[in-house]
Structure 1
Amino acid sequence: GVQQHITFPVNIIEPALFEEGKMFDGSSIAGWKGINESDMVLLPDAGTAYLDPFFADPTIVLTCDILDPATMQSYERDPRGIAKRAEAYLKSSGTADQAFFGPEPEFFIFDSVRFANDMGHTFFQVGSEEAAWNTGEKYDGGNSGYRPGVKGGYFPVPPTDSLHDLRAEMIKTLEQVGIETEVHHHEVATAGQCEIGTKFSSLVQKADELLTMKYIIKNVAYRNGKTATFMPKPIVGDNGSGMHVHQSLAKGGVNLFTGDGYGGLSQLALWYIGGIFKHARAINAFANSGTNSYKRLVPGFEAPVMLAYSARNRSASCRIPWVTNPKARRIEMRFPDPLQSG
């Protein structure tokens, strides 16, 4: 899916908006309602408010829940509502009272993107001054020759990493809207692959933050004349973009994944991994939601190709990160990609 937005003038913002919501046409959102029962309700969540950093006029952004007007209950297909119900179910089960998630979306920053698919021809072409294939290109200011090679883009210093300042601008903007960041760096692939790491959080909050993060990354790139894409495999022959998701459960403030089993995991953590593996094919429909997703999941590009867990092997679907503090014990599911979240 893609993010949607609607804008209201400040003079109509009243307390009733946060209690009764606002009607919209659900039939115009692909996969939701038919035209015969199109009315749906947007209910803003005041706790998600932030000042949009891109609009010329001051504009407050609010994430909304989607309600069915017949019941004023959460619409069954609303992803945010599903996440809320999942958190409530976890607490009611008694297994844990908190689930923490730390997604790590990778992305490419291109200088240009051209494509066509019509009766006469089909093509796509991405341009990146950082790309290894542009070593022979002539530029007005000259060709410096500083470029990460194929699979050679991990952690280079400038001038090979030409995107440091742009990522720093993204980091500042994320912090401006309340998203706590931890790291940013160039990723493995050539042609401008990057990663920005943010602090883990609960399911609903982190899902909200992930959508905001993608919005900010795309728009910071756009105002700098570039295009950010979270497509899993935009170029052939180099690493694709994954979204490794770190996960753990806690109860009463205690990390339930810490134990003395394999990789320092508890029995509960191993069962948790087993549950994901049991339902892996169903999870693929959401975690790897496009045909392009499966061009990434192939051998030779640091992508998971085995339904296995390992403390070291990055080809495994589940990696157990090494930690110095047992309180930070967690698992890292490596097969998801950033296409899934708008």
Structure 2
Amino acid sequence: MSDSGKILKLIKDQEIEWVDLRFTDPKGKWQHLSMVASAVDDDQLNDGFMFDGSSIHGWKAINESDMILKPDLTATYIDPFSATPMLIVVCNVVEPSTGELYSRDPRSSATRDEAYLKATGIADTVYVGPEAEFFMFDDVRFEDSYATSFFKLDDIELPGNSGREYEGGNLAHRPRAKGGYFPVAPIDSAVDIRAEMVSTMLEMGLPCDKHHHEVAAAQHELGLTYGKLVETADRMQVYKYVVHMVAQAYGKTATFMPKPIAQDNGSGMHTHMSLWNGDTPLFAGNGYAGLSDTALYFIGGVIKHARSLNAFTNPTTNSYKRLVPGFEAPVLLAYSSRNRSASCRIPYGTGDKAKRVEFRFPDAMANPYLAYAAIMMAGLDGIQSRLHPGEAMDKNLYDLPPAELVNVPTVCGSLREALTNLTQDRAYLTKGDVFTDDQIDAYIELKWDEVMRWETTPSPVEFDMYYSW
């Protein structure tokens, strides 16, 4: 049976009422179009569905808006949150005038990335394993208007609630600042919520292995294990969707903002990668920490291009409030075995198959398709150019004296800086037409709007610092 035949049989057997076509915009947000299941036929599943692309920021103009949502019939999920049976179908975006994948579609970029990897002959598969952290709160209020700007967060776990009066009493068990990693309940108040998130993802077919509280109060992580690049990016979109929906069902609200609280650790998305040829792991060898030259060159490429990669891996103004010293953030561009202060870590693993590298600077506000594809392209450039990353740094990088720190490169300090670096350092991304200059220019333009709004808007902290001067 064809893939479309299997989908139509699934729709019939499970009495599916809606087919929800999901795609990802340039910023990384899942978008959707819901089709009545009985109106979906074999031709549409194979040829695609027309939609208006002009409504997506950074895509088509109104006079060239017609585009095609082309289903990937191997990427489908039953939606556990829909009131009536719904099948999620993940889509690429196709340009109707050419029939080619749309150059500005993030998932299409990741699809081209996997094809380019095979074409190089270096490897046939890249595996990606992300560790996305998030916060959950009980109440979030904010406003940014003509004469008002504020935000206020509250959660049962926040340390500031230790003296608060609650109806029925304050039960007192909560993490202190930087103290959430990881006491058992009742200090960890969200065990059941996280368990339901993981159970829901397992039900949807995602490979998960654990969940735990993170370092900050109200901060959490679920264990999504590795997969191929596009496959893992799809799963990360499901991960975010499940986290938001389950939290809301419990009367809580979840965010992947890297730094919602100034005085505690921020949220990252540590990203593990490895290259394989068939059944052969290409990152295993006889070099430092059991790495091959291929792995070391891959690291060298990522370190070389890290400051332009930041535009994709750390794509918000808030991202750079996490990337500061003092909160376990991987600011320094160095690599090390098992050293979590390095921006690139080689985790311990038993056997060649476990050999991988972990890049610790990305955060989960990243569009997963663009971030994983961009890291992959930087690593490939390192392999093709034989860019050795230099000596490893096995000491605690947070405690280095200034004389040593001056020689260690750092990630960008702002989104402005990252976009400037991407403007200047992009040739490695456009190899094989994985990314195009048009796509990169459109992305930069989209992100400059965020930079300008942030840089031109007074903030409450400025009133605190300057009002009475």
State whether residues 312 and 367 of structure 2, in contact with CA within 8 Å, keep that contact through their aligned partners in structure 1.
no
- Compute the displacement of 1:286 (Å): 0.5
Match of 2:47 in 1: 20
Secondary structure in 2 matching 1:133: helix
Match of 2:220 in 1: 194
Q: How does 1:1-342 map to 2 (within 5 A)?
A: 1=27, 2-190=29-217, 192-341=218-367
Higher Cα Rg: structure 1 or 2? 2
Q: How many residues align?
A: 341
- Compute the displacement of 1:326 (Å): 2.5
2:350 & 2:175 partners in 1: Cα distance? 32
Secondary structure in 1 matching 2:33: coil
Q: TM-score scaled by structure 1? A: 0.98
Deviations 1:79-136 (A, max 9, x none): 1111111111111111111100000000001111100011231100111100111101
Q: Percent identity?
A: 54
Match of 2:429 in 1: none
Structure 2 unpaired stretches of 5+:
1-26, 369-469
RMSD: 1.0
2:110 & 2:315 partners in 1: Cα distance? 18
Deviations 1:197-247 (A, max 9, x none): 112000010000000110011000011110010000011110000000010
State whether residues 303 and 314 of structure 1, in contact with CA within 8 Å, keep that contact through their aligned partners in structure 2.
no
Q: Counterpart of 1:43 in structure 2: which amino acid?
A: K
2:114 & 2:76 partners in 1: Cα distance? 22
- Compute the displacement of 1:317 (Å): 1.1
1:108 & 1:339 partners in 2: Cα distance? 12
State whether residues 318 and 331 of structure 1, in contact with CA within 8 Å, keep that contact through their aligned partners in structure 2.
yes
Match of 2:374 in 1: none
- Compute the displacement of 1:46 (Å): 1.7
Q: Counterpart of 2:336 in structure 1: which amino acid?
A: S
1:204 & 1:113 partners in 2: Cα distance? 33
State whether residues 19 and 43 of structure 1, in contact with CA within 8 Å, keep that contact through their aligned partners in structure 2.
yes
Q: Counterpart of 2:115 in structure 1: which amino acid?
A: A
Structure 1 unpaired stretches of 5+:
none
- Compute the displacement of 1:336 (Å): 0.2
